Amino acid sequence: MRTDQVVVGLGSVTPEDVVRVARQGCGVRLAEDALAEIARSRDVVDELAEDDRPHYGISTGFGALATTHIPAERRTQLQRSLIRSHAAGSGPAVEREVVRALMLLRLATLATGRTGVRPGTATAYAAMLDAGLTPVVHEYGSLGCSGDLAPLSSIALALMGEGSVRDGTGVLRPAGEAMRASGIEPVELAEKEGLALVNGTDGMLGMLVLALADLDRLLTTADVAAAMSVEALLGTDAVFADDLHRLRPHPGQAASAANLRALLAGSGIMASHRGPECTRVQDAYSLRCAPQVHGAARDTAAHAAAVAGRELAAAVDNPVITLDGRVESNGNFHGAPVAYVLDFLAIAVADVAGMSERRTDRCLDPARSNGLPPFLADDPGVDSGHMIAQYTAAGIVSELKRLAVPASVDSIPSSAMQEDHVSMGWAAARKLRRALDGLARVLAIEIATAARALDLRAPLEPAAPTAAVRDAVRAAGVGGPGPDRHLAPEIETVVRLVDDGALLTATALDLH
């Protein structure tokens, strides 16, 4: 038995569990208490399957066909047909980490015993995930209501031994072949199991959990970038004083201001223009108001994390098997709670990136940079310095503003008007992932620009944490001031340092 496994039981999985399984390849297994509860609720389904009265998802069709009674001898075909028809996605395959997060979260719902699947079906689902088999899930197909239907159906299709998966080495293989090579027999679905495998918000929730992990790093990185720019532009740190931020007690703002104070402590550059003769009490908003904007984004993320926590504790299916043995239809598959916060986060991401780009631009403009050369160029006119790096940041920020337009306000009726209001939560999650990539790139350009500006302030010395970030950028192969050179590879290098958290580690601070 693998030792690096997340054990999925009756309780909810944690965000850390999702990241471990999705990004670190951690395996999974079902706990004994979960298997016992799964078996108990399956007895309810088996009993209802023998009943002459119709029960939705057990002895009827689905969606607009819910009033069509299906005789017992055709119900296996009903389940098979449901999955095949619903696995109707299109477009490029989504990322492996998204599929693994989706699978873990669906497994966690199966483990609650509220879905009515058989223990063997849940065990096979867990075995696929544990073996590193990743079904091909397409970009388009989910409206975020009745669950992420097409994405989840692609997983269920692979569980049946159909469709394609990538194995643990990334090789694309027929699902049945890959499953048998891993010692897993494809599953022939029984009553209720098709619905149980596809009726969930697991795709959008998985992407939300992963996005929150990214934002935890990126919003702290934004504080680092802002601190470097404040130094580079000879700004004042007086506006970050703790007592000033206690006057407006937003927790995110307080955390951001505390980070900026820690990052700028002991700065020789700040000391060089501090004192009675300093007139710098009203910096531009992109410097002065960084804690307010970064803090608002942090508080938005905290709200989204609260929603994610509640959703992680949910058992989303339709119908569900209640604790007292009833089989009840419901609307818990509607993705609105998750869709709203995914859209909210995209707004915050766009704003943080927009402020970052403004600080970059200020470093490059001799009319506003307090003595730095135009575009930080070595020989202005002959050299362009970071001029076009700012164009790149501006182009990304423009894209982020478009991505901030909410998906959750849209709804296109489906299933012959039975499903007449949908959440578009999957679409909200997909655009948020793109937005987070954009934020990382904009911050990387600001950090690369500010690092160059700090070098140009020599012999004045920056604070130890910001100097360490600059030095980490240099150690990674990004050169300091000098004649123009190919900038694109340098930007990508700093993007990698942002993405892997190396720049936060370089500060040697316990930033919040």
What are 282-299's pLDDT values in tens digits? 899 999 999 999 999 999
Rounded CA gap, 103 and 22, in Å?
9
| pLDDT-based confidence at residue 206 (cuts at 50, 70, 90) | very high
pLDDT of residue 280: 66
Give yes or no: residues 357 and 374 share one domain: yes
Give yes or no: residues 196 and 216 share one domain: no
pLDDT of residue 66: 65
Give yes or no: residues 328 and 374 share one domain: yes
Query: How confident is the model over 236-286, as pLDDT tens digits?
Result: 999 999 999 999 999 999 999 999 999 999 999 999 988 776 666 689 999
Instruction: Check which CATH number belongs to the domain holding 274 and give it.
Output: 1.20.200.10
Give yes or no: residues 230 and 114 share one domain: no
Task: Name the domain boundary from 145, 176, 200.
Answer: 200
- Pairing relationship of beta strands 172-174 and 164-166 according to DSSP bridges: antiparallel
Give yes or no: residues 162 and 100 share one domain: yes
Tokens for 60, please give them: 């009827």
17-31, 324-338, 410-424: the lowest-pLDDT one: 410-424
Query: How confident is the model over 54-71, as pLDDT tens digits?
Result: 777 777 766 656 667 777
309 is in which domain, residue-wise? 207-506
Rounded CA gap, 342 and 207, in Å?
9
Query: How confident is the model over 136-185, as pLDDT tens digits?
Result: 999 999 999 888 999 999 999 999 999 999 999 999 999 999 999 999 99
Rounded CA gap, 200 and 316, in Å?
5
| Active-site option among 56, 125, 140, 391 | 56
Give yes or no: residues 130 and 20 share one domain: yes
Give yes or no: residues 166 and 214 share one domain: no
Rounded CA gap, 2 and 317, in Å?
30
Query: How confident is the model over 324-351, as pLDDT tens digits?
Result: 989 888 999 999 999 999 999 999 999 9
**How many structural domains compose the chain?**
2
Task: Return the sign of the alpha-carbon dihedral for residues 57, 63, 69, 71.
Answer: negative
pLDDT of residue 281: 65
Give yes or no: residues 388 and 247 share one domain: yes
Higher pLDDT, 72 or 223: 223
Query: How confident is the model over 38-52, as pLDDT tens digits?
Result: 999 999 998 888 877
Mean pLDDT calculated for residue range 224-235: 98
Task: Name the domain boundary from 151, 167, 200.
Answer: 200
Strand partners, 28: 6
- Pairing relationship of beta strands 327-328 and 320-321 according to DSSP bridges: antiparallel
pLDDT of residue 140: 96
Residue 451 has pLDDT above 60, yes or no: yes
b/e 93-112 (16+ beta carbons within 10 angstroms → b): bbbbbbbbbbbbbbbbbbbb
| Residue 125 is among the residues annotated as catalytic for this protein | no
Give yes or no: residues 314 and 457 share one domain: yes
